[in-house]
Amino acid sequence: MNHPVRRPVVYAHRGARADEPENTLRSFRRALALGADGIELDIRLTSDGRLVVVHDKAVDRTTDGTGLVADFTLADLQALDAGDGERIPTFDEAMEVCGDVVQIEIKALEAVQALAERERHTPLPGSVVLTSFSRAAVEEAARWLPHVPRGLITHHPGDEMIKEALELKATWVCPELKPELTRELVDRCHETGIQVDAWPTADRAQLLRWVEIGADAVTTDHPGRIAEWLAAPGDR
């Protein structure tokens, strides 16, 4: 079967993570300036119930602080340096910068209800997707935000991935690069109405593989390299 070559949607992983402090407003702005179609970011909840954008459970790796995100108030969390003088942004601050195409990865189960409460007065854009490695988080998203598309992130592409996604009524799967992630598997996803966001996309070979197997989207730390990697050898 011949498949047309097409450019997948490009999600910038925590922004332009290879160039800027991850999950910061500076990183998101840089990613969009470099040509990303959308932003992938992570949400957690502070001790005073505020939605913030940070990947790890603890602040140690990405800031000059120490401790669990859930133990900080928003004010104390935002007093930390998240790299190059950047702060950990609130979710509202991030959405003002990121535009409409956003993949929101749920890192803390309690963040889902907070997101649903926000939705009552500030609806999420229609192109937002809620994703998680956690089946429980995807189920919680279906319960609180049933109208928002959902995606299951997984290290294990295969038939079980499709089965789980269908059980969760997810319209996206986000599989990691593994030998099992083939054109045939992507075709089976598409036949069941599921779109595929493949990761990582760390180099040209990986990107071309995603194009070859028909992935609908890619997530990358290098949004500024995508156009170069997609170009034919004679065009570079």
Active-site amino acid positions? 13, 55
**Around Cβ 173, how many Cβ atoms within 10 Å?**
27
43 token code pair: 């949400």
* ∠ CA 30-24-88, rounded to 5°: 165
65 token code pair: 């602080």
First to last CA, the chain: 29
Specify the DSSP class assigned to residue 235. G
State how far the Cα of 199 lies from the Cα of 52, in Å rounded to an integer.
24
State how far the Cα of 142 lies from the Cα of 124, in Å rounded to an integer.
15
DSSP E strands in the chain: the ranges are 9-13, 38-45, 51-53, 102-106, 129-132, 150-154, 172-175, 195-198, 217-220
SS3 category, 153 = strand
Nearest to 45 by CA among 37, 36, 54: 54
**Type of residue numbered 109:** L
Q: What is the Cα 11 distance to its own chain's centre?
A: 7
**Type of residue numbered 46:** T
